Amino acid sequence: MKRRKLFEGAVERLLFVCAMVSILTIVFITIFIFRTGLPLFEEVSITEFLFSDRWRPTDDQDPGFGILAFIVASIFVTIGALVIGVPVGLASAIHLAELAGERSSRFFKSVVEILAGIPSVVYGFFGTVLLAPINRMLFGGTGFNILLASVILAIMILPTIISLSEVSIKSVPKELKAASLALGASHWQTIVRVILPAASSGIIAAVILGTGRAVGETMAVLMVAGNAPMMPEVVTSMVRTLTMSIAGDMGYAAGTHRTALFTTSIVLFVFVMALNVIIKIITRKGRVKA
């Protein structure tokens, strides 16, 4: 018994150390990006930085450090990905949880796992080689634009939405489904009016996590969005997102330009943290209702 207690105590301490390492990592990352990025506001006003679309960091005569065009582009691309990906992902989750047989379900889950494991650069190549020429043929221009980036991101967020939504749907108590069917509702009516509302908190959390994935994606979007630092006007506009700006410029940036890129990362960090807080609130409300 004494040896067992010593072993359990050692395991508890090890788990505590691992948890503290995770917390300290987040703390150090936060301190680093804020300490490196905030000095920008000694030279550039926060209003100009957030609400100006004039990005000319290498212009020695009249430099500009406005990221509004990048923020708008990130929002457009993310919304486009959600418009395409959420209906497909939710429909797939419903099929896996309620309609697919055991053999079919195993096959589709394997496909979803493969999608989750494909590197983002492969998605970028897929968009560049296969989808961009189709996009160019249908809408003109270069073929690299918001629409193509949204399609690629929609494919990339599907595993997150499908997996988490399926788990939420399967977590709905069987008694609710049985009661609905016993009252005369069809299977589809039960899914739409009983199961989905009961699983709504988990589904919304899945969508928000997918949103975070779409906002933070860099390589695939860099390859298909056009990388043009201008304000988007239509879905066929070439754009540059926040992550594209950081990844594309960090290799040669120096001085205030480099500081501005770290400040851009602060904007991304705050946005992702806000998404996580929203997920916590939604899942907490879901547990309270349950």
158-197 b/e with 16+ CB inside 10 Å = b? bbbbbbbbbebbeebeeeebeebeeeebeeeebbeebbbe
Supply the pLDDT for residue 80: 94
Supply the pLDDT for residue 127: 93
CA distances from 153 to 77, 147, 168, 265 (A): 8, 10, 23, 20
What's the burial of 147, exposed, middle or buried (CB within 10 Å: 0-12/13-18/19+)? Answer: buried
For residue 239, what are the β-bridge partners? 226
Q: What is the pLDDT of residues 259-270, one digit of tens each?
A: 999 999 999 998
Residue type at position 234:
V
* Matching residue, tokens 């500009």: 64
Mean per-residue pLDDT, 32-50: 91
Supply the pLDDT for residue 285: 64
Confidence of residue 59 (pLDDT cuts 50, 70, 90): confident
Mean per-residue pLDDT, 141-158: 93
pTM, two decimal places: 0.87
What does the block give as tokens for 35? 């300490």
Q: What is the pLDDT of residues 97-143, one digit of tens each?
A: 888 888 888 888 888 888 888 999 999 999 999 999 999 999 888 88
Supply the pLDDT for residue 68: 93
Supply the pLDDT for residue 82: 93
Supply the pLDDT for residue 152: 95
Does 283 or 25 have the greater pLDDT score?
25
Mean per-residue pLDDT, 70-75: 93
Instruction: Report how far residue 39's alpha carbon sits from residue 67's, in angstroms, rounded to the nearest whole number.
Output: 16
Among the listed ranges 35-39, 62-66, 275-279, which one has the minimum average pLDDT value? 275-279
Mean per-residue pLDDT, 169-191: 90
* In the predicted structure, residue 287 carries a pLDDT above the cut 60: no
**In percent, how much of the chain has pLDDT > 90?**
50
Supply the pLDDT for residue 70: 93
Q: Are 120 and 219 in contact (CB under 8 A)?
A: yes
Q: What is the pLDDT of residues 208-220, one digit of tens each?
A: 889 988 888 888 9
Confidence of residue 286 (pLDDT cuts 50, 70, 90): low
Supply the pLDDT for residue 289: 55
Q: To the nearest whole number, what is the mean pLDDT of the chain?
A: 89
